[in-house]
Structures are given as structure tokens and as C-alpha cells.
């Protein structure tokens, strides 16, 4: 039995008009870290197709999710920037729910309307987070007094999360797991939709779980493909990310299952993300919804040619990245990576860099430490390695958290290599 399948029609609109524009070669699964330095990894193709009908970019294959997610090393709480993003997201969602109370606002002793968000009503709300990872977002809701439930397929994250008492179901989002969950007021899914093959089933199930009494909402974040293209983030193209979303295919997808998008926002997290607010119930439609599609059209994002040009930029970054690493090697300057991110591992593999150029990669996720990167077999070490090794350059493999990483290492007084959106030395 094969462990991946080929994509023959668009997962959003069903069209068979899929045109390839990017072939990054055959590579290992970015998060399948190795326990031994000598282990070999299995490679799978990374090719991107453009749907001429709805403009969804998508990978040409779907690797069996069981291989990718049963054990998952990524822990979203490691980044303080992401923790804060989750806090702000929870507060923002709370505002919507509170302004939408289906009962009259309480009246203060002076007879005025009490607009104070004292959290009283919050206690009734139930939030479900799909692919809850290490509970980073649910913890924020719990602090606000919400009931929480999470669905998380990975066994290691589920076990680690148990002491946090967030109510996690160890499963994929499916009929079976959803049947164990009560109707709820909010469903969140950050960085999940791009990983899902049957997106229609996924969203239909979401819709069926949103309570009508409180006009339940679905809040979903996806990396925005506009940023991927304009900021050359080709390293975020790897087997886990099946879809690369513009707003247009999202709008088509959501409306096909009866979820109305009533607001869309952009956030800088993970190199630029869209946050979609949707519901099967009636909400006033914000102007952002019509504006964004107009913007995409004007930017040429619905033209195949835009993507052909992207291909050339990828090649340029690859050349320059290797040039910098080779120069360092020739001058006997040491380079250590920071952030054994999936995108960093992909970048190394796409460019064909190796451990003679990058001696090790520091990552503060204990689960990743002392393992090895697939393909390049570089060791992942802990933070104290920076002080022990004193590298000449730190390569920011998690460039999306550049500020956080540079703040933590400024005492080392090293220089930095930033690979994306273009190769720079700071």
C-alpha cells in the first residue's frame, strides 16, 4: 500500500484544470526528526499546482496524515510571540461573543446599561480548538473563564497536555471525535485548514457543531498565500501544507458548505496570516470581506503568470543562500541555525545545504533536542550550545520570529543570516 495519493482535482472547487508551476524536488517530511545521526529518510515529491478555476494553489500529493501527525514535534507554546497572539485572539473573540449575547445586557444599580465586560457571561461559553497542539490557545480561553475542549491527533502532545486539564480528545477532527463534543459557541482552528485534504467535510462538521442560541462562530487562521508569494516564503511549502490559501478560494469553500464569512483580518504571525470569522448564523458582513478579493485581483494573484515569476525568485534565493554558507565555510566562520522549524528544515533540503555548513541547530523545544534533521542529518541542540560553541553567525531558520530570536541571543554579539524574504546578513 502506498503512503501517499495523487491529487487529480481541486479540493475546493472540484475542477480538473490544475497546472503545475513549482517543483522543489523530492524531500523528506519536514517534521519527521531522526533519533540517530545515521538514519535515512524517505522522500516524497514537492510540486505545486494552480487551480485555473478557483485559484487555489495545492500540492500534487497528499501524504497519509498518520505518518505525519501521530507523533508531532512542533510545540506552539515555545514562542512568546505566538502565546501573545493567542491571548489577543481570545480577547478579540470574547468581544464578539459578548456583544452578541442573546439576552439583554444587565442594568446597573444606577439604571444605566452595564457595558462592563466583567466576564460573568463568559462562564457559559464553550470553545473547541481543532488541532489544539500543546494547548497554547485553549489556555488563554481557560484564563478568560471559558469551558474548553481540544481535538489533537498527536499522541505525544495529547499526553503532555493532560496536566493542563483543557479537555483534549486524542483524535483527528472527524465524525467520531465531533460526536464526543457538545454543541459549542466557538470553534477555532489555527494553522490547520492548510493541512486538511477533505476541507469540505471538515467545515461541514464545524458548522454542525456551532450552537444556534449563541450564534456560534468559527474562527480560523491560515498563512496568507499573498505573503508567501510576495515575500518568497517558499520554505513554507512542504508536505504538511496541502493548500496555500488566497481569500478567493476560501470564500468559495466556506460558502459551499453554508458558512458565511463575516470578517477577515490580516496578522503578521507566521510571516502573515489571514483570520477568518464565519458562522452559519446571521452577522453583519464587514467591508474587509469584499475589499480583500478586490485587492487580490489587483495584485495579479489570479493570473498563472504571477507564479511562474515566483519560481525564478526561488532559484535566486537558493543560489544566494548557498553562496553565503560557502563563503562562511571558506573563511572558517561557523554557522549555527536557530529554530529547527519545519520551514527551516525544508529550506536546508531545498537548497542542499549540509552539516559542513551548518554545524548544529538550536531549538528550545525539549522534544526536538538531540534529534537530527531529516535529509541533512544536522543535530538539534539546546540553547546553552550557543554559549559553548560561540558561532560567528546565527542562521535564523525561524525568520518569522526573528525579533524574538535576536533578542534572546543579542548577548552573544554574533552576526545573523536571514534567508527570507531575501538572503541578508545583519
The least CB distance from residue 77 to ligand JHZ, in Å, is: 9
The least CB distance from residue 301 to ligand JHZ, in Å, is: 21
Residue 311 Cα to chain centre, angstroms: 22
12 binds Zn ion per the rule CB under 5 A:
yes
The least CB distance from residue 11 to Zn ion, in Å, is: 8
Q: How far is CA 286 from CA 245, 377, 426, in A?
A: 20, 48, 41
> Residue-wise over 403-419: b if at least 16 C-beta within 10 A, else e?
ebbbebbeeeebebbbb
Site for Zn ion in 52-81 (CB under 5 A): 53-54, 56
What residues does 245 pair with on adjacent strands? 224
What is d(CA 237, CA 244) in angstroms, rounded to the nearest whole number?
Answer: 8
In 302-362, which ranges are E strands?
A: 335-338, 361-362
The least CB distance from residue 3 to Zn ion, in Å, is: 25
What is d(CA 130, CA 120) in angstroms, rounded to the nearest whole number?
Answer: 26
The least CB distance from residue 107 to ligand JHZ, in Å, is: 44
Minimum CB distance to ligand JHZ smaller for 16 or for 366: 366
Site for Zn ion in 181-200 (CB under 5 A): none
State the binding partner of 53 from ligand JHZ, Zn ion, none, CB within 5 to 8 A by kind: Zn ion
State whether residue 120 is helix, strand or coil.
Answer: coil
- DSSP 3-state helix, strand, coil percentages of the chain (rounded to 5)? 35, 20, 40
For residue 371, report the phi and psi dihedrals to the nearest 5 degrees.
-95, 180
Minimum CB distance to ligand JHZ smaller for 77 or for 100: 77
228 binds Zn ion per the rule CB under 5 A:
no
Task: Name the one range near Zn ion by CB under 5 A: 15-23, 90-98, 213-221, 314-322.
Answer: 15-23
Given the rule CB under 6 A, which residues bind ligand JHZ? 74, 78-79, 191, 240, 270, 339-343, 363-365, 368, 398, 400-401, 404-405, 408
Residue 21 Cα to chain centre, angstroms: 22
Task: Name the one range near Zn ion by CB under 5 A: 8-16, 115-123, 343-351, 382-390.
Answer: 8-16
Binding site for Zn ion (CB under 5 A): 10, 12-13, 15, 51, 53-54, 56
Amino acid at each position: 500500500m502506498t503512503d501517499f495519493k495523487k491529487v487529480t482535482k481541486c479540493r475546493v472547487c472540484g475542477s480538473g484544470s490544475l497546472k503545475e508551476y513549482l517543483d522543489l524536488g523530492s524531500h523528506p517530511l519536514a517534521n519527521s526528526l531522526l533519533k540517530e545521526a545515521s538514519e535515512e529518510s524517505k522522500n516524497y515529491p514537492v510540486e505545486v499546482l494552480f487551480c485555473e478555476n478557483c485559484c487555489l494553489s495545492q500540492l500534487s500529493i497528499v501524504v497519509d496524515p498518520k505518518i505525519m501527525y501521530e507523533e508531532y514535534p512542533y510545540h506552539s507554546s515555545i514562542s512568546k510571540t505566538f502565546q501573545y497572539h493567542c491571548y489577543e485572539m481570545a480577547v478579540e473573540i470574547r468581544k464578539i461573543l459578548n456583544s452578541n449575547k442573546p439576552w439583554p445586557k444587565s442594568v446597573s444599580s444606577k439604571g444605566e446599561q452595564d457595558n462592563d465586560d466583567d466576564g460573568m457571561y463568559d462562564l457559559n461559553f464553550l470553545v473547541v480548538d481543532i488541532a489544539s497542539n500543546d494547548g497554547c490557545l485553549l489556555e488563554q480561553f481557560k484564563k478568560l473563564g471559558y469551558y474548553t475542549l481540544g481535538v489533537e491527533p498527536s499522541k505525544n502532545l495529547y499526553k503532555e497536555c493532560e496536566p493542563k486539564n483543557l479537555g483534549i480528545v486524542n483524535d483527528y477532527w472527524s465524525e467520531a471525535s465531533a460526536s464526543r463534543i457538545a454543541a459549542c459557541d466557538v470553534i477555532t482552528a489555527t494553522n490547520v485548514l492548510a493541512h486538511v485534504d477533505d476541507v469540505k467535510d471538515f467545515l461541514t462538521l464545524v458548522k454542525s457543531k456551532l450552537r444556534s442560541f449563541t450564534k456560534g462562530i468559527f474562527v480560523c487562521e491560515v498563512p496568507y498565500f499573498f505573503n508567501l508569494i510576495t515575500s518568497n516564503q517558499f520554505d513554507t511549502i512542504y508536505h504538511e501544507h496541502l493548500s496555500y490559501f488566497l481569500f478567493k478560494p476560501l470564500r468559495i469553500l466556506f460558502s459551499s458548505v453554508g458558512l458565511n464569512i463575516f470578517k477577515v483580518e490580516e496578522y503578521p504571525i507566521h510571516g502573515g496570516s489571514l483570520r477568518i470569522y464565519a458562522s452559519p448564523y446571521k452577522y453583519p458582513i464587514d467591508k474587509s470581506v469584499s475589499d480583500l478579493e478586490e485587492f487580490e485581483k489587483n495584485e495579479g494573484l489570479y493570473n498563472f503568470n504571477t507564479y511562474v515569476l515566483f519560481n525564478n525568485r526561488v532559484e535566486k534565493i537558493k543560489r544566494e543562500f548557498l553562496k553565503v554558507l560557502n563563503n562562511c565555510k571558506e573563511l572558517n566562520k561557523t554557522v549555527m541555525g536557530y529554530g529547527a522549524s519545519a520551514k527551516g528544515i525544508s529550506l536546508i533540503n531545498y537548497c542542499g545545504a549540509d552539516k559542513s555548513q551548518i554545524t548544529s541547530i538550536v531549538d528550545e523545544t525539549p522534544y526536538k533536542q538531540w534529534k537530527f534533521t531529516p535529509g541533512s542529518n544536522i543535530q538539534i541542540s539546546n540553547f546553552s550550545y550557543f554559549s559553548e560553541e560561540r558561532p560567528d553567525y546565527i542562521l535564523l531558520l525561524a525568520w518569522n520570529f526573528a525579533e524574538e530570536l535576536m533578542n534572546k541571543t543579542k548577548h552573544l554579539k554574533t552576526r545573523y543570516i536571514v534567508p527570507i524574504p531575501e538572503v541578508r546578513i545583519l
